[in-house]
A and B are shown apart, each in its own frame.
Chain A
Amino acid sequence: MDATPQKLPSNPIPRILAEKETKIVARDVNVYYGDKHAIKHLSIDIPDRAVSAFIGPSGCGKSTFLRCINRMNDTIPSARVTGQILVDGKDIHDRDLDVVQLRARVGMVFQKPNPFPKSIFENIAYGPRIHGIAKSKADLEEIVVNSLKKAGLFEEVKDRLSHSGTSLSGGQQQRLCIARAIAVNPEIILMDEPCSALDPIASARIEELIDEIRQNYCIIIVTHSMQQAARVSQLTAFFHLGDLVEIGDTEDMFTAPKNKRTQDYITGRFG
């Protein structure tokens, strides 16, 4: 398979892509749900060790594309994906690439906090356990504690690791989900509107967390809050009706977007 990325169509190339290594390369990706053409000829580069934000009105395909990256769309029978998505130069649709391995490398945080209805410990231990990451019980405990610390949740829950994950507040649950994703050592973390169900304070803590961990992961966040995208991300991509309309450095995108559709969307003129 020819893994050489073609040139990214957007011009000029965002500065962040020049600064950082490119983690994900998508070329001519199309997604169909039955007859619906959800993503049209999408090509994009995503930088490593940075936060990329996907914005756009509902139904624009941003979540759909996000779910292509860990092949979550495989679970939808009517979904069909064409084109190339390369992670570290390796096509994720390759026959010899196992989807379970892919998902271990590409963690995901969902719109609604969805901890397993088990203990906080079990929530985080589950991933390392099924992947055989922890060699011993002590290893496992260390992973759990470290993940909770990275997610900034450890201090709040250290006395009640055996309590149910669902007993936490919404914001804590979402951080638990992030800790759960971190626990399997992913390289990429996908976040599908992680703050949409949270109050502003809880959202702020998640943003703070994203900011803290972004040096170690390739993070992609789908969000409806332009301010959030502006605050947490370095690269912003605007999707509309299945097209990638504009991609650029976040600081440019929110002060002087080039495309009129982008401008209209982020200034609240449609959508």
Chain B
Amino acid sequence: MTDFSKKLDPALVAKRYASERRFRAYGAVALAISVLFLVYLIVDIAVKAWPSFFEHHIVLKVELDPARIDPAQVQKGDFNGIIKDGLRAAFPNVTTRADSKKLMAQLSTGTGDDLRILTVANPAMIGTTVNASALLSDDADLYFKGMHAPTLKTPGQTNLQIAKDGENYLFTGDLSQLVAGQIVRANGGAFRITSMEPGGAKAEVLLTPDTLNSLVAGNWDILSFAAIEVDRRIDDRAVVLLEAMRDKGIVEKHFSWRFFSSGDSREPELAGLRGAITGSLLTVVMTLLLSLPLGIAAAIYLEEFAPKNNWTQFIEVNINNLAAVPSIIFGLLGLAVFIGFFGLPRSVPLVGGLVLALLVLPTIIIASRAALNAVPPSIKEAALGVGASHLQAIFHHVLPLAVPGILTGTILGVARALGETAPLLMIGMVAFIVDVPNGFRDAATVLPVQIYLWSDLPEIAFQSRTAAAIIVLLVVLFCLNAIAIYLRKRFERRW
């Protein structure tokens, strides 16, 4: 038997294995780091986005007064007013103008929309009293989602007396629990402790109490805050009102279909993605309609028919270069040519589609050529051999085999177009557009531009909306990639 160990230097062998192990380790580490980044990114966005998929309502008993809703024109009825009346009725002890205004501010400006839709669908409701679900404002919504500075609730464990002291009130008794700045809720009212004095705790009223009975332990509670009022997005009065709503049990949490069914808005709680999604859809359809036939035709011509000379060489090089041109250049081109020269309207999916078609055309041409080239020439020869013309050979045999490759390339190109922002900024698709577009010539925006727009807005609620829009965009892109993979697997053939 041959002794192999004698022929090879064991140190060298060990070294070779060690270097292989090292290389594998580098690879694993690189992979782990990238996975970590990706997971962090996605988790971070998802966590931020999650609240946006839900919204808070309050349920109010309202009377659909025929005086305020003309049955002939239900659409124009004053549903916001009806809701507000319902809210006022639910909080009888809110009396002052300022308090009432504060209470109404907790409602969204579009709070009557849901009721309007319901009534339009079912006009028989007019004249009856119904339980209406009213959308809350963004700040109120965020408060219930716990995204403001936290409010701590402490049950009252001592007995207190309360008495009116001029404009203010005075708490006496065992004041051990009270600190200035806290809110004491009792007897259906709320008081803010302004100062602790030897004679008792001075307090101002935030919500008028029903009575001034003595407070027994367990009957009252204290709201305290981690941050002082000026640092909070929501002030003490609002907190008292919202907590009162919560205590009444009329606050409800729903999945926010509105996020997908409404257009853009300045009010975060009303802002939705439907406009952007529709805009994206229209733009992508336009892009596909233009780039797919053009791209495939160009690819077939270049791959199968074009003579191999300097001209086609030049064209090929330039197609490859075009794929590497920064996208904003295409925006400038679109602005100059389609809007400036051809006089097409700004901000419309038609022009967006044209520009994005230019953008993805090189990608589609390159992918299609590669797919056509990957079809074994023997298939074409076989077709030519039985007497098919060149065109028949291509359309009957080569193209069907290239379809998975072409589709993959196209879908990746479309995915790129879907995520593109820069060229669309140049042609004015960055405008604030509330209406959902109905056609290629309606002003529209697209998902990535919507993200860009929202990310710029000051309202805190928009941060979450931005993240949610990113999630939607990612899901759409993942779906497109999944379709690409599916098509590839479905149509892929072995030969």
Contacts and interface: CB of A to CB of B under 8 A. Distances in A.
A72 B393 CA distance: 13
B7 interface: no
Contacts of A229: none
Interface in B360-387: 376, 378-387
A103 interface: yes
A126 B378 CA distance: 16
Given A72-B385, A103-B384, A110-B381, A130 B308 contact: no
A107 B387 CA distance: 8
B392 A130 contact: yes
Given A117-B401, A166-B494, A110 B382 contact: yes
A104 B387 contact: yes
Contact of B387 (A75, A110, A184): A184
A110 B386 contact: no
A83 interface: no
A107 B385 contact: yes
Nearest to B309: A77
Chain A interface mostly: helix
A103 B385 contact: yes
A120 interface: no
A39 interface: no
Given A114-B376, A166-B495, A104 B382 contact: no
Interface string B478-495: 000000000000000111
B16 interface: no
Nearest to B375: A117
Interface in A35-56: none
B396 interface: yes
A181 B385 contact: yes
B388 interface: yes
Nearest to A104: B387
Nearest to A114: B378
Contact of B384 (A72, A109, A116, A117): A72
Nearest to B397: A116
Interface string A170-205: 000000010011011000000000000000000000
B385 A126 contact: no
A103 B392 CA distance: 14
B313 interface: no
Given A100-B389, A130-B388, A166-B494, A116 B381 contact: no
Sorting the interface of chain B by its residue count into under 10, 10 to 19, 20 to 34 or 35 or more gives 20 to 34
A114 B379 contact: yes
A108 B385 CA distance: 5
B378 A131 contact: no
Nearest to A117: B493
A14 interface: no
Contact of B308 (A77, A110, A180, A183): A77
B387 A103 contact: yes
A54 to B, nearest CB: 17
Contacts of A116: 379, 382-383, 397
A181 B386 contact: yes
B385 A110 contact: yes
A107 B386 CA distance: 6
Contacts of B66: none
B307 interface: yes
A75 B384 contact: yes
A199 to B, nearest CB: 20
Contact of A103 (B308, B376, B379, B386): B386
Interface string A92-128: 0000000011011001111010111100000000110
Contacts of A103: 384-387
Contact of A104 (B380, B386, B397, B401): B386
Interface in B447-467: none
A262 interface: no
A104 B383 CA distance: 11
Contacts of B376: 114
Most buried by B among A100, A104, A107, A131: A100
Contact of A131 (B383, B384, B387, B390): B387
Interface of B: 307-308, 376, 378-390, 392, 396-397, 401, 493-495
Given A130-B392, A130-B396, A184-B387, 14 more contacts: A72-B381, A100-B387, A103-B384, A104-B386, A107-B385, A109-B385, A114-B381, A116-B382, A116-B397, A117-B495, A126-B388, A127-B386, A130-B388, A181-B385
Chain A to chain B: the 6 pairs with minimum beta-carbon distance, closest first: A104-B387, A127-B386, A108-B385, A114-B378, A103-B387, A117-B493
